[in-house]
């Protein structure tokens, strides 16, 4: 039997690593998001849970940024193109804004996976260093297998929530005068950056565009005046969005190349912090 340091010493060693606090940020987000979702369903939303959930994401992304790029001395394209910087900025904006429940969902999905992925790789080996064939070890292997098998699905789900859920909620909020236009502009710019950096976001945007085309473009042949106007407005708005998205494509592509090795929420590097 291999001699291991005492449990207290192992825990102290674990707590000295920044990755442990990265994991604590994810735990904070997951549990406070669950509490906030529960309070919303009970028709008594508590803003404190929402704020603490986004604070957890700020902790996690802040640690990843500190480990990957350090403390930025100037915000050049390499820093702005870093996916963790983008998500940190977005989380800070949502933290500062009034609660919009759906904005928590993408962060919750990824934090849930990161939280569980860290348990078999770091937490359990510290608590049970010799349990190689025990039920605990088997549970750890099951957790790892599950997170690995469903990782791609989670990335895609979060992208669809961002494109359809968050953007849809912001559009409805602006049209009903419940959300500021600035929030819509901030998130639209974020999605533009994600379009060039994330294949999941590209797929979600293409699918959403195809569905809207399928629903709205046939209205051009509708004899009713309002249907033709709606179709024309949609075509013009889509053209503006396409031009807006491609306006800085060369700059974004260069930042994408410079940050291709950086960690992100949607990549395995972010798991390791």
Q: What is the pLDDT of residues 126-172, one digit of tens each?
A: 888 766 667 888 888 888 888 888 889 999 999 999 999 999 999 99
Please check the confidence at residue 249 and state whether its pLDDT lies above 70: no
**Which tokens sit at 79?**
């820093």
Higher pLDDT, 255 or 52: 52
Residue 70, sorted as left (phi over 0), alpha (psi -120 to 50) or beta, turns out to be left
pLDDT tens per residue across span 156-166: 999 999 999 99
* CB 54, CB 20: distance < 8 Å: no
User: What pTM does this model have?
Assistant: 0.84
For 33, residues 6+ apart whose C-beta sits below 8 A from its C-beta are 49, 53, 104, 107, 108, 111
Quote the pLDDT of residue 67.
Answer: 86
Question: pLDDT for 2-35, tens place per residue?
Answer: 567 888 888 888 888 999 999 999 999 999 999 9
Residue 272: predicted pLDDT: 45
Lowest mean pLDDT among 88-97, 112-121, 254-263: 254-263
The residues near 198 (Cβ < 8 Å, ≥ 6 apart) are: 83, 159, 266
pLDDT at 169: 95
CA-CA distance, 161 to 205, in Å (whole number)? 11
Confidence at residue 204, expressed as pLDDT on a 0 to 100 scale:
94
């Amino acid at each position: 039997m291999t001699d291991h340091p005492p449990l207290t010493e192992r825990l102290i060693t674990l707590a000295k690593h920044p990755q442990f606090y990265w994991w604590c940020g994810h735990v904070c987000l997951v549990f406070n998001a669950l509490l906030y979702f529960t309070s919303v369903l009970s028709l008594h939303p508590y803003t404190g849970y929402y704020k603490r959930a986004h604070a957890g994401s700020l902790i996690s992304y802040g640690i990843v940024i500190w480990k990957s790029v350090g403390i930025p001395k100037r915000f050049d394209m390499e820093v702005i193109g870093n996916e963790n910087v983008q998500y940190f900025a977005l989380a800070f904006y949502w933290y500062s804004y009034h609660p919009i429940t759906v904005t928590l969902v993408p962060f919750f999905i990824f934090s849930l996976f990161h939280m569980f992925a860290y348990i078999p790789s770091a937490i359990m080996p510290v608590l049970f260093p010799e349990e190689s064939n025990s039920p605990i070890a088997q549970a750890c292997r099951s957790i790892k297998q599950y997170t690995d098998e469903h990782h791609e699905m989670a990335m895609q789900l979060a992208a669809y929530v961002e494109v359809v859920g968050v953007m849809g909620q912001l559009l409805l909020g602006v049209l009903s005068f419940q959300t500021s236009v600035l929030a819509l502009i901030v998130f639209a710019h974020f999605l533009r950056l994600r379009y060039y950096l994330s294949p999941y976001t590209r797929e979600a945007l293409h699918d959403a565009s195809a569905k809207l085309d399928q629903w709205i473009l046939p209205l051009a042949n509708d004899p009713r005046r309002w249907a033709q106007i709606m179709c024309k407005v949609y075509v013009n708005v889509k053209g503006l969005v396409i031009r807006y998205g491609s306006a800085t494509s060369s700059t974004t592509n260069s930042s994408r190349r410079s940050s291709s090795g950086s960690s992100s929420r949607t990549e395995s590097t972010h798991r390791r912090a």
